[in-house]
Structure 1
Amino acid sequence: MKELKVLAISDIHGKEGAAKAFVRDVRKRGIRADYLLIAGDIGCPEKPERGSKVLSILGNLKLEIYFVKGNWDIGLECAPPRTHNLDEEGPIKLGEYLLVGHGEKFDPYSVKGSVLLLTHYPPYGILDRGFKYEPYHRGTHTGLININDLIERYRPLLHIFGHSHKSGGVSLKLNGTTYVNVARLDRFIRNSLCIGNYSLITIREGEVKVEHFYINGVYKKCSRCNRRVLIPPSWNICKECMMSDELSVEEGISSLRGEVELEIEEIYPSGGGTLSNKRLKVRLKLPLTTIRNSLTLKELIEDTIRKEAFKVLTGRHKVAFSIPRDLLTYLYPCPADGSVGEPLIVRLFKCKRCRENRGIPCNIFKALLKRKVELFWAFDSVRGVKGLVKHRNYVLVTGKRSDGCDRTLIALIKNGFRILTAKVDPPLFEHS
């Protein structure tokens, strides 16, 4: 097979200075490549024209450019010559390989052969640390499970992505796929010096070699691993050492059974002091070849439970959303001393020492002490901020499910709450 070299970047965010600095750095280092791949966030939504300007600057490298759109690329329509939006043009043949892009669309293509995958978002659990808020969850994984599903289907040789800035400039090989996070190019320090990162990826006879570069970077010895590495002038530690916890891989995850059944049980009062329940069963296929360790698998299972529970609530109510834990101390003040808005950990310590039970606030925080729970609010009508009509409170238990409800959860049920618990069969790893 003929050798293929690609330059890969992402997350420019309309910064023309970053694009110019990248072109200069590539020329200064004498780097040669066949193509330039961009994993989204080329422009910025406030000034959509900047995206086209950035692409024009990058065109000075005289390379064919293939890109996918990111969440910042609203309004990016006009592309200069030799620039191709993969969402519009579909899979492209690059020598012996097929380049497949998914920026805004996640419906899989029917493809054969060696696939190179380009997306903006990371896969769930792989070099994706950051902050993400969804109506059913606030978490530190910015990756999308849709992309894990695409990887299971395509089994790509290489996956290039961005979006998660914290994990950018690092690569990982897992089950035959090399994952490369190329975020972000528009990194500047105080004196306006650009220290954005980019990658040169060489593919030869099915083997992938990744070299990470920093604009204006210098070679020095890492103070942790003692390797001579290229890093920004002010750094003393290489990115691999900074992100070592994100690079750990456990053997045997992909050999587990990926077909599981999720059962969500809803427990609620039925009158006369008795409890009733409903059960919903969902068949799921977990993308286990993309899961690097048991902790990530536990997080994936818990996020999947949240997502399915959220589907149940939005199918039943007009609006539903998870209440962030940090807001609970504002919404449910301490009935003993009336304190509002204190740090969550302070409130939990107080509740742990307290022997009294003064209703809903006490039961919510005692449940937090005993189990992994989340509170949902659901609304049946929305008529502006003042017109919200709260219909029901739900408590989702995402930790290990025990037989029945304990006294704390039963007390919440008696106060109008509905309890959602979940069980995965086969259990894989207990999600506790």
Structure 2
Amino acid sequence: MNAAVTRVAAIGDLHVQEDGSVSYRDIFAEMSERSDVIVIAGDLTDLGKPAEARLLVEDLRASRVPVVAVLGNHDHQSDCVEEVSAIIREAGVYLLDGTAVELKGVTFAGVKGFVGGFGRQMLASFGEAAIKAMVAESLNETIKLENALRQIRTPKSLALLHYSPTADTVEGEPPQIWPFLGSARLGEVIDRYRVSAVVHGHAHHGTHVGRTAGGIPVYNVARHIEKPEGRPYIVLKL
């Protein structure tokens, strides 16, 4: 393997459940054998419970490479975000939230992201206070992403999200729910900083590969998505 190449194994939407019915230990071990860094694109837990986070970090002990992650919407469900985040970070995971980390010559810039829609269907800040609050949250996540991208100092970089920055990779989901699967605002920021690639999850029935409006490759790595190698994860070479 060329020393200049960094292998990144990416997966999303693990939805680890409290009953421990599904273990990812073998998958993490396999991913670490095939990569230099593992990234997880949100929905680490099913209901955002601390007990689920503890099960996840037990499985992550099988990894022998650094792990980078962002939270997803499911990780917020039980209003235990701070505790869940602390459990994950204490296990040595680089949990990003508008922040970045440089590993193996690649800068990983991450944020959960939020809803908002794409193109002419993008939600505007107009009308009821609840709608304005939703758009404000979408803008806030976009600003956090930009703050993370500003920290890039390496030629190679990866944007790690839960929500999609492009309609390309939500195609396959019912069009009625596309506005709840991501926001083109995220893609607009990514295009300004010209990252090497983007990975996200959330759209379980979406499309594996797409591009931002500016042509940057985007990979939907939700565990449920069919991928070229038939594995629940992909390996990107950066």
TM-score normalised by length of structure 2? 0.67
| TM-aligned CA distance change 1:186 to 1:179, over 3 Å | closer
Aligned-pair CA distance for 1:56? 2.6
1:153, distance to aligned residue in structure 2 (A) = 2.2
The one of 21, 24, 28 equivalent to 1:23 is 28
- Following superposition, the deviation at residue 22 of structure 1 comes to 1.8
Cα deviation per residue 1:299-352 (whole Å; 9 max; x = unaligned)? xxxxxxxxxxxxxxxxxxxxxxxxxxxxxxxxxxxxxxxxxxxxxxxxxxxxxx
How big is the shift at 1:92?
A: 1.0
1:144 aligns with 2:183: yes
> Aligned ranges for residues 166-245 of structure 1 at < 5 Å?
166-167=205-206, 170-172=208-210, 175-184=214-223, 197-203=232-238
Q: Counterparts of 1:41 and 1:131 in 2: how far apart (Å)?
A: 20
CA distance in 1, matches of 2:69, 2:220: 15
Q: Is the 8 A contact 2:16 2:45 kept in 1?
A: yes
Structure with the larger RCO, 1 or 2 (CA within 8 Å, 6+ apart) = 2
Asked if 2 retains the 8 angstrom alpha-carbon contact of 1:157 and 1:176, the reply is no
SS in 2 for 1:98: strand
Matches within 5 A, 1:14-413: 14-15=16-17, 16=20, 17-23=22-28, 26=30, 31-45=33-47, 47-74=49-76, 75=80, 76-77=84-85, 78-79=87-88, 80-87=90-97, 90-103=99-112, 105-107=141-143, 108-109=146-147, 110-112=150-152, 113-129=155-171, 130-131=173-174, 138-141=176-179, 142-167=181-206, 170-172=208-210, 175-184=214-223, 197-203=232-238
Instruction: Check the 8 A contact 1:14/1:51 in 2, yes or no.
Output: yes
Query: How far apart, in 2, do the equivalents of 1:186 and 1:55 lie?
Result: 23
- Name the counterpart of 1:404: none
Q: CA 1:47/1:139 → structure 2, altered by over 3 Å: closer, same or farther?
A: closer
Identity of aligned residues (%): 22
Question: Shift in Å at residue 131 of structure 1?
Answer: 4.8
TM, length-normalised to structure 1: 0.39
Instruction: Kindly report structure 1 stretches of 4+ aligned residues shifted beyond 4 Å.
Output: 173-176
- CA RMSD for the aligned pairs? 2.9
**How many residue pairs were aligned?**
186
Larger Rg: 1
The one-character-per-residue Cα deviations of 1:136-186 (angstroms, maximum 9, x if unpaired) are: xx4435221221122122221110111011125x22356552211110269
Cα distance in 1 between the residues matched to 2:65 and 2:48: 28
The structure with the greater share of residues assigned to strand is 1
Gaps of 5+ in 1: 133-137, 188-194, 204-432
Is the Cα–Cα contact under 8 Å of residues 114 and 156 in structure 1 kept in the other structure? yes
Partner AA of 1:115 in structure 2: S
